[in-house]
Chains A and B, each alone.
Chain A
Amino acid sequence: MEYYRPTSVEDAVQILGRSPGAACMAGGTDLVVAMRSHKRGPHAIVDLSGLGLDTWIFDDASNRPAKVKTQGTKKAGNDEQRLGPGWRIGATVTMAVLKTLEDEDNLGVGLLADAASQVGATQIQNRATAGGNLCNGSPAADAVCAMVALDALIEIAGPTGAETMPIGKFLLGPGRVNLEPGQFLTGIFVPAHDMKKSSVALQEYRKVGSRTSLVIAVAGLAARTVLDKGKVVESRLALSSVAPTCIRATEAEAYLTGGPLSPDRIREASHLAREEARPITDLRATDQYRKEMVSALVTDHLTRAAALAQ
């Protein structure tokens, strides 16, 4: 097996272009496990750790053109999207770094930090990367769930040049992401979700599993609820492990937005979210239990958000 450790994105693109059986490796925490259990047997490894994609910056958008081209799937065509300020996070930024991202103004990235702090345990967090969490395509990926909640954009390099795509288009199903042969992920962009001074926000990632650390989610919720004068002005509810990919509970979000967090409305929202989940039964849990956990996670989050608003 050949082992490459390119030092530029161009070199990486070139290597991937000429070795179709190659696998990208970032932290290796998924890939090495898959190789050891003979689920994957790449002909070559392209180690991305030398590309310098292990840093992040806050981009206040002052130097950026007002509109950036974002590309969806080929079928969906291209959209133009306004990109405001946000965090540019390199593909190989580790969970250990993500979890230190500070978000005093509740602009959203704190949710990603919270999720990253719950990935595996210390040793895993020192290796596991944001890009690996995404490209592995697991519906249980904690950091991905937060990125879905925050409408992150995915930055891709490849033989046909760089692309940016909404995360919803990137995640295709268990183990499947929207990368063409030769493409790889270079980074993510997490937009800053501004809010008024008078608003209060609760943003957090919670997961259910059979123990308190080092556990893959049986169900997870990445949520951001912003309230202003007692009414929900922003609702983001992303669920992990209850559908083929991390998904948004869009109906529940739409229902919540604009109204107060009364017990009745929380009840209804959690019911909607539960219906939006499409879990399977596997060895970790039954579909029924997973649905119940969606109710529990959503009710719990919204109830505490309501208390915060008081």
Chain B
Amino acid sequence: MTKDCRKWGVGARTVRPDAEAKVRGEALYLADMKVNGMLHAALVTSPVASGHIESLGLDHVREEPGVQIVLSADDLRGANQIGIIFDDQPLLAAGRVRMVGERLALIAADSEEQAWAAVRAAKPQIAAEPGVFDVADALSPNAPKVHDSGNLIKEFVMHRGHMDDIESRADLVIEGEYRIGGQEHAYMEGQGAIVIPGPGGTLTVYSSTQCPFYVRQRICRMTGLAEADVRVVQTVTGGAFGGKEDYPDEPACCAAVLALRAHRPVRLVLPREVDFQGSTKRHRMVVRHQLYALNSGRILGAKVEILVDAGAYAGMSTVVAERANSSCIGPYHVDAVQVSTKVCYTNNLFGGPFRGFGAPQVSAAHEQQMNRLAWKLGLDPVAVRRTNLLNHDRPTLATGEVLPCADMGPKTLDEAVFHSKWQPRWNESVKSVAGVIDPEAQGDRYRDGMGVGTIVYGCSLHHGGLLLDRGGASMILQADGTVNVAIGVTEMGQGALAAARAIASQGLGISQERIRVREVDSAMVPDSGPTVASRATLIAGRAIMDATKILADRLRNIAADLLGRVPAPQLEFGNDRITDPVSGRFVSFSEAVTALYGRRENPAAVGWFRPPDREYDDESGQGGAYIFYAFATQVARVRVDTWTGMVQVRQVTAAHDVGRAIHPPSLEGQIQGGVVQSMGWATMEDLLLDQGVLQNPGFTNYHIPTATDAPDVRIVLLEEGTPEGPYGAKGIGEPSFIPGGAAILGAVSDALGIELTELPLTPQRVRMAVEAAQTSSPEGK
């Protein structure tokens, strides 16, 4: 097979624009930057999850060497409020603390070491009070109240069809309660910000963030500064995964209030342990799922109750829950559903966005429910999925939305099943109890299994976030034929710059090398909303297409003149030329640009993309939740050591409905990385909490996959396009993660013949399940 070695346009396998600077160690991340006169900030935080502050114990802190400024809630001049959706979160605790790691005071000192040494001199006195540590208890009437308003932050629902009708028609009901664990993002670069005060009360903020416009908004609210006076520049960002959506605003706000007080630049870089304890996490969820079905394997509907552990502050938990609520039925056709998703305060870790945004947790549940239905009926789990997946005959999602691409679900399933050589063991008659530690049972020690996860993912923001769902790009044709592009969405490793460059290159028909795309500077591009929900390529891509169209039309007229009375509309862009397909004559792109400059025409354009309006009803959870949908199926092949409980994920086959591969190497990288991150979440990443205190706040005991743990990832791309996406592209960042946990949960269950309902499947948890099965089985000892 000859590879496509094109250097222009979408689909070209080019080298990422940021690769060389990174591989040479030249890329500047936040902590690599120094500013003259800079102070270093540190945080005094609460060691207690719930309590009243008796005293902050800061008396000696001011005398510590190098300390310049110490601020507590009483010293703040602006609003002590950083809640992003609800006004429930102070920048610095006042009176009461609700989580471990909550900020009590800010310190700025001459050096980083001095700042953190001063933190150790603080002796806060906090009278501990009872807290809520299990989301399942949060709503009980005698649970302590995390906030005076009560522990229920918000409830989302979804109602469709008649539940009584399917209850009476169903032959069987599969009931399950799933306890799904949280996850630390574990971006390799921790959180931080540098704030530089400028003349006239302006601020320049450097931030490792995926949402510079959120940083700006929250700093402005805290300080009262105007948006035009606060310039937020995104630094090269060392991973984010949702962890740098809203949380970076907090260190940025801390540095900002200190910088304004000190009239000096302030840098805050969180040490890993502080970051682990205080920053957002994937939500723990409890999912109670009742699946109504016929003996044929056809499902009629489901009743689902989801409890979302938001932690002590709402943050973006409601938005995450909204996606969980809309996703909890999966890609299946149903007659009726009744879903309730309750987002609750607890005194646990701070919940927030994380790749998949609530969907991985509910997908693990709905997929295991499908498996259990299959096993109960003696059917192949894949067959049960085929019976129920949406397709062109039944294209309506549980949210009531009709999907034009409904056939992509079965297609991803077929591809994944074929390429993975799907062969589960559940239907084998071997159902003997595994895991008996005995010399004569050595042969049955390792059990192989396979599991499948199929999902449908709504790309970009939910209807609830429609207001933010738009974005811009500005473009300048330089006189020498090179091009600058500024976009409002961020590169955090996923390849946004490479994708933007490919799209610009396609729009102008020029080689990618001519194009420079820069990281976001809030003063240069319009607010384009958050870089989340796999929307970067869509939003930036469509905005760039808008801009390239404006520029291409100008160049087309010029080229038509240069070629001599050729009808402009028929000219084609490509290969660094503007060509008349009829005569085959062309002008080079550079010539056309030179002519444009010669005529003193405008070489710049600002493109804009505004997804169409949609109707959605919160009361019923029905309507146009998302702009369009992407399907995915992943099949996991595992080997379980039944003696130790260790799960080895050997292979994951990932079939994705990507629309179009804009920059193939980045797309593959997203899938490979998403699969491994999901595998870590499902098998080893365990946030161990004791009364809200994280017991493993670092990589020593919070284990993420190493090179020897990562499975072999096989990728199957389905490129059938979508009219709304740029050149047909959908989104991949989140879909790459979502089905993996479900597939692994199914695969381990398949291997053991045990219907597991918890994640992560740590060795100890798996071993305990094996032992429980032994005691309950007649064959067991």
Which residues of chain A have a CB within 8 Å of any CB of chain B?
Answer: 38, 121, 208-216, 218, 263, 266-267, 270, 283-286, 289, 292-293, 295-296, 299-300, 302-303, 306
Contacts and interface: CB of A to CB of B under 8 A. Distances in A.
A296 B770 CA distance: 14
Contacts of B763: 208-210, 218
Contact of A296 (B437, B703, B707, B762): B437
A306 B644 contact: no
A303 B706 contact: no
A208 B439 contact: no
Interface in B728-781: 762-764, 767-768, 771
B695 A299 contact: no
A285 B763 CA distance: 9
B255 interface: no
The interface centre, meaning the residue of B439, B707, B762 with most chain A CB atoms within 10 A of its CB, is B439
Interface in B693-733: 695-696, 700-701, 703, 705-709
A266 B767 contact: no
Contact of A306 (B439, B646, B700, B707): B439
Contacts of A289: 764, 767-768
B615 interface: no
A141 to B, nearest CB: 15
A267 B438 contact: yes
27 contacts: A38-B120, A121-B706, A208-B763, A210-B646, A210-B684, A210-B762, A211-B705, A211-B706, A212-B709, A213-B706, A213-B707, A213-B709, A218-B764, A263-B439, A267-B438, A270-B437, A283-B695, A283-B701, A289-B767, A289-B768, A292-B771, A296-B437, A296-B644, A299-B438, A300-B442, A300-B643, A303-B442
The interface centre, meaning the residue of B442, B648, B700, B771 with most chain A CB atoms within 10 A of its CB, is B442
Contacts of A299: 437-439, 442, 643
A111 B709 CA distance: 24
B439 A267 contact: yes
Closest 7 CB pairs of A and B: A296-B643, A266-B439, A263-B439, A212-B708, A303-B439, A283-B695, A213-B708
B688 interface: yes
Nearest to B696: A283
A302 B439 CA distance: 8
A123 to B, nearest CB: 12
A212 B679 CA distance: 14
A209 B762 CA distance: 10
Contact of A208 (B646, B684, B700): B646
Nearest to A214: B706
Contacts of B32: none
Contacts of B393: none
B438 A208 contact: no
B439 A292 contact: no
A208 B762 CA distance: 12
A212 B710 CA distance: 10
Given A284-B701, A292-B767, A211 B437 contact: no
Contacts of B120: 38
B121 to A, nearest CB: 12
A60 B767 CA distance: 47
A306 B438 CA distance: 13
A263 B767 CA distance: 23
Nearest to B645: A289
Contacts of A263: 438-440
Interface in B644-678: 644, 646, 648
Given A212-B708, A292-B771, 16 more contacts: A121-B706, A208-B646, A209-B763, A211-B706, A263-B438, A267-B439, A283-B688, A283-B695, A283-B701, A289-B764, A289-B768, A292-B437, A295-B437, A299-B438, A299-B442, A303-B442
Contacts of B646: 208, 210
Interface in B532-581: none
A211 B644 CA distance: 12
Interface string B78-121: 00000000000000000000000000000000000000000010
Contacts of B768: 289
A209 B763 CA distance: 8
Contacts of B438: 263, 267, 299
A211 B701 CA distance: 11
A38 B119 CA distance: 13
A211 B709 contact: yes
Nearest to B642: A296
The interface centre, meaning the residue of A208, A211, A270, A299 with most chain B CB atoms within 10 A of its CB, is A211
Contacts of B701: 283-284
Contacts of A38: 120
A285 B439 contact: no
Nearest to B770: A292
Given A212-B706, A292-B437, A303-B439, A286 B764 contact: yes
A267 B781 CA distance: 14
Nearest to B705: A211
Nearest to A263: B439
A289 B762 CA distance: 12
B763 to A, nearest CB: 6
Contacts of A212: 648, 706, 708-709
A300 B707 CA distance: 26
Given A121-B706, A284-B701, A300-B643, A211 B684 contact: yes
Given A267-B439, A306-B439, A285 B764 contact: yes
A186 B701 CA distance: 31
Nearest to A212: B708
Contacts of B764: 218, 285-286, 289
Contacts of B437: 270, 292, 295-296, 299
Contacts of A208: 644, 646, 763
Nearest to B648: A212
Contacts of A211: 684, 703, 705-706, 708-709
A275 B686 CA distance: 29
Contacts of B439: 263, 266-267, 299, 302-303, 306
A218 B765 CA distance: 14
Nearest to B647: A210
A299 B709 CA distance: 25
A42 B95 CA distance: 38
A86 B435 CA distance: 40
A306 B644 CA distance: 21
Contacts of B707: 213
A291 to B, nearest CB: 11
A300 B446 CA distance: 12
Contacts of B771: 292
Nearest to A37: B273
A303 B701 CA distance: 31
A138 B717 CA distance: 49
Contacts of B686: 210
B450 to A, nearest CB: 21
Nearest to B695: A283
The interface centre, meaning the residue of A214, A216, A302 with most chain B CB atoms within 10 A of its CB, is A214
A218 to B, nearest CB: 8
B78 to A, nearest CB: 34
A38 B646 CA distance: 34
A211 B707 CA distance: 10
Nearest to B764: A289
Contacts of A283: 688, 695-696, 701
Nearest to B643: A296
A270 B441 CA distance: 14
Contacts of A218: 763-764
Nearest to B771: A292
Contact of A210 (B445, B703, B708): B703
Interface string B628-650: 00000000000000011010100
A284 B686 CA distance: 10
Nearest to A290: B764
A284 B696 CA distance: 9
Contacts of B703: 210-211, 215
Nearest to A33: B700
A247 to B, nearest CB: 20
Nearest to B685: A210
